[in-house]
Chains A and B, each alone.
Chain A
Amino acid sequence: MVLMAVTLGLKAQAVYEQEFAKANFYYSENRFDTAVVIYEGILNAGYVSAPLLYNNGNAYFKMRNYPMAILNYEKALKLDPDNQEIKYNLDIANSLITDKIEPIPEFFMSRWWKNIGNKLSADAWATFSLIVLAILLVAIFFYFTARTKVLKKSMFFTGLILIVIFVCSTVFASQKRNYLSEHNEAIVIIPTITVKSSPSSSGTDLFVLHEGTKVEILDHSNDWDKIKIADGSTGWMPSSITIKY
């Protein structure tokens, strides 16, 4: 029974992988709208990968739909944070939208931490942590069974280092997992929106955002989102005008 389900699943996956190749073909034929339809179909079926999102973003970009291109690039970067091609295309798309927001510089420690975390994907960190755990257990075993003092000592320190690496990689994996599972980033998709000081249309106008701008969602209240932009400004805007990812 289980085996059948797994085979069926694999079969469906193979079908969508073929679809993926087909959409890429349409893209190379400059039929971007068709490509987008297929890419979106695959995404709607629940299959995802960084290249799929990246290609979808490219197709949107070619159709000059920069907000959707940015949305797809951001989603792709979430899955594959260190991919230079995605970063490059995202930069170009960001240079074509209206808002140019100067991001507030991050504290260097948290920047380093993020950079290390971005070196591997969530699953890679999880696998890495498992491998480190395995080596750690071997080290502990040798520590307990060591005959000589030298071996015991070296195993003790190896173990300590491995514990630190294991904890870090587990934290990375868990952070990545949280980041991927919580959808608190969004892209503005309507041409222009005035951000208000309170979650109602009578609130004071604070600043104006345009399509394609990335916002972080901090809070939610009655169809209004409290958002934060890269320069640290916060305000409220209706939920419907962004796509969260």
Chain B
Amino acid sequence: MTRLLTWSAVAALALAAGGCAAKQAGSYVERSVDFAQYRTYDWAPPDPLPAADPRLAKNAYFQDYVEGAVQRGLAGKGFGKTPAADPDLLIHYHASVTQRLAVDPSDRARGGACYDATCGVRVQEFEAGMLVLDVLDARSGRLVWRGWARHGVADILNNPERMAARIDAAVAGMLETMPSGAQLAADPAVRVREEGGRK
């Protein structure tokens, strides 16, 4: 029984994290744009939508950690934060939390037949966090890339270490599919790898 409970807990966590085989992070890209033309970026104020969750948006630790993780991630992609005016890119992020429902994993898994009292669906509510990172061309004001990552927030809101680990994973996950910028694209090895991947 203990074993079953553990198994259920793990399954519930996996579900709360966003469903069975659902992707946890991804991105949208403006395909007509060559990212190798971009070298520098700066932070800009976010759009009014989506509405940010105050537990994250007003949490200085969360904000600092996201900004740090994004800056480290973008440096790894060949973009540098510019101390001067006139950056190539402007970036901002949104952190929102929505109430989501999940069917109890054992009900999903049952699959077989049921009758009378053995039928029934247990539905759980959980809070799903979504982090969206927008990258805009500073000159045209056009959105050229948007990354996203989601995860249940119940276990991270009051746990700084877990929050930090989740943010690192979220930012790494979304940036994985981002094209490289000027500071990396000059490296012929990277160039070849990216062009190979594009085919």
User: Are the chains A and B members of one assembly?
Assistant: no
Q: Which residues of A contact B (CB under 8 A)?
A: none
